[in-house]
């Protein structure tokens, strides 16, 4: 593993690093460290009282969460932490070049810290290097971009895949079909490092337990591409041989279920299909008996931590990690990045009230629209 090289970005952590290092060491957590040489080259820290510019770059619109939750939760948290701060926002809509242009525009406009949800982890290294060369620290948000970000917040993404795999096995065991056919694996985008982690976690659970008949990686997390891939799997394997489908997220699950429907599979005969992100339509498919589960990732704390990281880096103050532990995560370039990883939660119909409803992610009225009012879940809970 390569050590973090002394650069202005390391110094941007400022005096917070030394203070945090002692506190975290005392609690047994990984720590941020800095040297006197780094501090000597440090730029003057910004202040919350005077405010500063924060850039938020999110990756895509295919997944509903970014516009519906990540952006407003981050805006809310930043406004509370730094009322005088100015936020610049852009969504790249899955376009690598567009994200690079957006980042460059923000740097030209003088942002003091970037929060980056990368479209492409490898391509984002250029953005990170350019920002840090200008003394602008970078928080990698949700996806660990290459290039040595200053901090990173996401979920334990290998665990996400494990949770999905465990749920799929549980469903197959409940139905008594584990040895009766094959499953199809439809993974996420090959340019998203999280997708590789989900895939690895799922394989660690599923390999040797079920037969994987077909497997695909899905460009841009596209539901349409997932639909086409599932149609190909049905043609290759035969619809009656498919006992379950690992879908890396809810959007792709919609395309997968549509393909199964087009092949003549009735709702009551659909094989268990996994998902992720707890999208509203995913939750509705679960209560309708179409999708077996999703993975709920509490986005509010993720966005709040990202805002805290941005403020800490820009002001050279301590990162208030609260109940969460700071650890070191190595990116694809071998850079060790101080990180907070949150825990994912499996959600089947039995868990909806205690997770997305209890957390205010959705109300029962939002879930139980007219199309779903007759489901058992809505009849029992409305």
HEC string for 87-120: EEEEECCCCHHHHHHHHHHHHHCCCCEEEECCCC
C-alpha dist (Å) from residue 127 to 107, 121, 134, 139, 147? 10, 10, 11, 12, 8
pLDDT in tens, 231-290: 999 999 999 999 999 999 999 999 999 999 999 999 999 999 999 999 999 999 999 999
Q: Tell me, yes or no, if the two domains 8-155+298-342 and 157-289 fold the same way.
A: yes
Helix (H, G, I), strand (E, B) or coil at 228: helix
Q: Cβ contacts of residue 268 below 8 Å, gap of 6+?
A: 289
CA distance 242 to 114: 45
**How do residues 165-177 score in pLDDT, each as one tens digit?**
999 999 999 999 9
In the chain, where the domains are located: 8-155+298-342, 157-289
What is the structure's pLDDT at 45? 85
Query: CA-CA distance, 337 to 133, in Å (whole number)?
Result: 17
Residue 358 has pLDDT above 60, yes or no: yes
Residue 244 is predicted with a pLDDT of 98
How high is the mean pLDDT of the chain? 89
Following CA atoms 61, 67, 70, 76 in sequence, which dihedral angle do they give, to the nearest 10 degrees? 160
At residue 340, the 3 state secondary structure works out as strand
pTM given for the model: 0.81
C-alpha distances out from residue 325 to 132, 148, 227, 232, 348, Å:
25, 20, 39, 44, 28
CATH code of the domain occupying 8-155+298-342: 3.40.50.2300
The whole-angstrom separation of Cα 34 and Cα 380 is: 56
Q: How far is 87 from 82, CA to CA, in rounded Å?
A: 10
**pLDDT tier for residue 44 given thresholds of 50, 70 and 90:** low
In the predicted structure, residue 20 carries a pLDDT above the cut 50:
no
Average pLDDT over residues 339-353: 97
Give bridge partners of residue 330 from the DSSP assignment.
Answer: 336
SS3 346: strand
pLDDT at 190 over 80: yes
Which architecture does CATH list for 157-289? 3-Layer(aba) Sandwich (3.40)
215-219: average pLDDT: 97
pLDDT band at 29 (very low <50, low <70, confident <90, very high): very low
């Amino acid at each position: 593993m390569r050590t973090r090289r002394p650069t202005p970005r390391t110094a941007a952590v400022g005096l917070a690093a030394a203070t945090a290092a002692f506190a975290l060491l005392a609690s047994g957590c990984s720590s941020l460290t800095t040297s006197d040489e780094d501090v000597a080259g440090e730029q003057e820290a910004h202040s919350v009282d005077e405010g500063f510019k924060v850039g938020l770059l999110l990756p895509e619109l295919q997944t509903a969460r970014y516009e519906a939750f990540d952006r407003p939760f981050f805006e809310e948290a930043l406004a509370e932490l730094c009322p005088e701060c100015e936020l610049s926002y852009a969504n790249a809509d899955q376009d690598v070049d567009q994200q690079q242009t957006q980042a460059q525009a923000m740097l030209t406009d003088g942002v003091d810290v970037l929060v980056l949800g990368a479209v492409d982890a490898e391509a984002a290294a250029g953005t990170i290097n350019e920002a840090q060369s200008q003394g602008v620290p970078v928080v990698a948000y949700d996806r660990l971009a290459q290039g040595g970000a200053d901090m990173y917040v996401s979920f334990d993404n290998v665990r996400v895949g494990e949770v999905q795999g465990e749920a799929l096995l549980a469903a197959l065991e409940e139905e008594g079909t584990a040895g009766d056919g094959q499953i199809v694996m439809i993974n996420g985008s090959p340019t998203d490092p999280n997708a590789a982690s989900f895939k690895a976690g799922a394989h660690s659970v599923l390999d040797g337990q079920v037969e994987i008949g077909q497997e695909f990686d899905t460009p841009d997390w596209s539901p349409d591409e997932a639909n086409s891939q599932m149609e190909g799997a049905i043609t290759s394997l035969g619809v009656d041989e498919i006992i379950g489908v690992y879908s890396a997220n809810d959007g792709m699950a919609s395309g997968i279920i549509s393909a199964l429907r087009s092949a003549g599979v009735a709702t009551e005969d659909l094989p268990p299909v996994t998902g992720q992100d707890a999208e509203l339509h995913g939750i509705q498919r679960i209560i309708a008996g179409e999708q077996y589960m999703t993975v709920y990732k509490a986005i509010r704390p993720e966005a709040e931590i990202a805002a805290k990281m941005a403020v800490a880096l820009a002001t050279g103050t301590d990162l208030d990690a609260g109940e969460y532990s700071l650890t070191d995560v190595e990116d694809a370039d071998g850079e060790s990045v101080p990180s907070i990883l949150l825990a994912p939660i499996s959600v089947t119909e039995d868990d909806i009230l205690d997770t997305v409803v209890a957390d205010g992610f959705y109300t029962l009225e939002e879930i139980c629209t007219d199309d779903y009012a007759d489901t058992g879940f809505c009849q029992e809970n409305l």
